[in-house]
Amino acid sequence: MSQTIVQQLDVQGLACPMPIAKAAIAIRSMQPGDRLEVLATDPGSVPDFTAWCAKTGNDLLEQTEDAGVFRFLILKG
Amino acid sequence: MSGVPARIVVLGGGVGGTLVANLLDKRLGKDAAITVVDPTGMHDYQPGYLYLALNGANAHWLSRDERTLLRGGVDLAIEEAVRIHPDAGTVQLARGGSLAWDYLVIATGARLVYDEIPGLAEGSHGFYSLTEAERLRAALRTFSGGKIVIGVAGIPYKCPPAPVEFAMLLEEHLRDRGIRDRSEVVLASPLNRAFTIESASKIVQPIMRERGIQLETFFNVESVDPSAGIVSSLEGDKLEYDLLVLVPPHRGQDVISDSNLGDAGGWIPTNRSTLNAGGYERVFALGDATDLPISKSGSTAHFEAPVIASRIASLILGTAPAENYGGRVMCFLETGNGKATVLRFDYEHPPVPPEPSRGWHMAKWIFNRAYWETVPQGRLPDRAPGTMPKEVVR
């Protein structure tokens, strides 16, 4: 399994549901085991990404916040 | 003022463009020469398509000659704009020639792009254009039972509550026709709730459950297989359907992309407060054409228009532009059975929708009928942009 981030997705400034829609498109072209890093500013993206990962079989490895920017590290399942 | 009228060109004769032009004419009179440029010269009341598809409106009621909605001092050019030259202060027209402007308002709206989703044009119905709504009405007339899947095939799209409203009204329509027990209604949502706004989802989801409207979550449409009757999502799920009703993907107009004024989707980078477009002092954008992270809806354009009119008038009259757009939007949300709720919000205040009631349904009904005589002319009473109804301010 690759330990590096394969793709980064910057959805800062975008409102719900754009972050999820863009993540769904981005992860589609990745391989199982690849990691996707998402940067978002919409506070609603925290519950959304948690639920989205649970539904889609991807793992939410990390979720952090720094100065209003939410970072999600997702492992494609 | 030098005595020479300022030349104002407004691209687009929808709700935003028409209202800005009328407000500017009212405010500036002979100090401005205002031209609305619109490729069709017809003004459509798009919220009516939903009702038309379900047999509640006729096409005649949904369209008017734009000329009849503009004040006498505003010129209408039935032309297609193909290039905007912000530095030269001109707009190039498809049939040749160009228009020079001192101030430009871009209200070009969105276009529907069916070919972005394989199978969408052949396999899906919709209610986002008059043609689509009429085709859906015909399909529903012969529908005698089966599975109807409703969803969105791209984000962003106009009028975010519309798919939920359609599901609610369709369910009622099927009951009225006596075929509800032979039908399934499924709403496929891109999120884990029925609607982008959580407070609105909390209102509509119990109603959906009560009416047996199924919710399929995290379903971002990837493709449609018309021969198999299957719609697939980016998340890898598949739904079978007998009748598919999808909102097509939306993009900004070609004139925006061709003029290098748009982002990847063709939406114009717009200042969220001043509504200046692309960083140009004398160019403004409103309505669906902008990249602002708020609803693409007539209501948004309605509340943005007075801000742009005020700022342009200030620039022409030599006073400091003072009005800002605060993100105000107001949308009705029909929940069926003669009831509706309302979503009122701005950049800082999420909506607190009231319980659905007959009163709000009646308010929407009155708005639908009063639209032609009030909104384009700026006759609808309005609060100062950016302020909110008392019950929403926290």
What digits encode the pLDDT tens for the residues B40-53? 999 999 999 999 99
What total number of domains does chain B contain?
Answer: 2
CATH number at residue B105: 3.50.50.60
pLDDT at residue B59, rounded to an integer: 87
Q: How far is A7 from chain B (nearest CA, A)?
A: 17
Kindly state whether residues B122 and B235 are assigned to the same domain: yes
Residue-level pLDDT at B390: 42
Say yes or no to pLDDT of B383 above 80: no
- Encode pLDDT of B269-278 as tens digits: 999 999 999 9
Q: How far, in Å, are A19, A43, A46, B32 from residue A52 at the CA level?
A: 11, 15, 10, 52
* B211 shares a domain with B178: yes
Mean local confidence (pLDDT), B154-169: 94
* CB-based contact B235 A55, cutoff 8 Å: yes
Let me know whether B190 and B263 are in one domain. Answer: no
**Which one-letter amino acid corresponds to residue B231?**
V
State the Cα–Cα distance between residues B190 and B238, nearest whole angstrom. Answer: 14
Regarding whether B281 and B235 lie in a shared domain, the answer is no
Average pLDDT value for chain A: 89
Say yes or no: B242 and B178 in one domain: yes
Last residue of a domain, one of B224, B249, B274: B249
- B168 and B295 inside one domain: no
Active site residue A53: no
* Rounded Cα distance, B298 and B160, in Å: 11
pLDDT of residue A5: 74
Shared domain for B239 and B312, answered yes or no, is no
Helix (H) or strand (E) holding B165: helix B162-176
Contacts of A13 in chain B (CB under 8 A): 293
Domain endpoint, select from B249, B271, B304: B249
> B218 to chain A nearest CA, in Å?
7
Is B130 a member of any domain? yes
pLDDT interval class at B56 (50, 70, 90): confident
Is residue B279 in a domain?
Answer: yes
Q: Are residues B100 and B212 in the same domain?
A: no
**What are the pLDDT digits (tens) for B101-113?**
999 999 999 999 9
Q: Provide the residue ranges of all domains of chain A, joining segments of one domain with +.
A: 1-14+32-64
Residue B128 resides in a domain: yes
CA distance A71 to chain B (A): 19
Q: Tell me, yes or no, whether B125 and B169 share the same domain.
A: yes
Taking only Cα atoms into account, the Rg of chain B, rounded to an integer number of angstroms, comes to: 21
Contact criterion met (CB < 8 Å) for A55 and B220: no
Between A and B, how many CB-CB pairs are < 8 A?
A: 46
Q: Does residue B393 register a pLDDT over 80?
A: no
The DSSP letter of residue B218 is S
The average confidence (pLDDT) of chain B is 94
Ramachandran class of B218: left when φ > 0, alpha when ψ lies in -120 to 50, beta otherwise: left
B364 inside domain: no
Of A13, A16, A52, the CB nearest to B218: A52
Are B192 and A15 a contacting pair at CB < 8 A?
no
Considering B284, B308, B330, which residue would you say is the last residue of a domain? B330
**DSSP letter at B291?**
-
Please give the residue range of the domain that contains residue B93.
Answer: 6-109+253-330
* Nearest C-alpha neighbor of B278 from the set B303, B257, B249, B251: B257
Q: Are residues B281 and B244 in the same domain?
A: no
Name every residue whose Cβ is closer than 8 Å to that of residue B7 and which is 6 or more positions away in sequence.
B32, B33, B35, B100, B101, B102, B103
- Give the contacts of A47 (CB within 8 A, at least 6 positions apart): none
ipTM above 0.85, yes or no: no
Lowest mean pLDDT among A30-34, B82-86, B147-151, B212-216: A30-34
B160 in the same domain as B135: yes
Pick the closest to residue B66 from B10, B112, B113 (CA basis). B10
Higher per-residue confidence, B344 vs B392:
B344
Whether residue A1 is predicted with pLDDT greater than 80 in this model: the reply is no
pLDDT digit string (tens) for B291-316?
Answer: 998 999 999 999 999 999 999 999 99
For residue B1, pLDDT beyond 80: no
**Is A48's CB within 8 Å of B235's CB?**
no
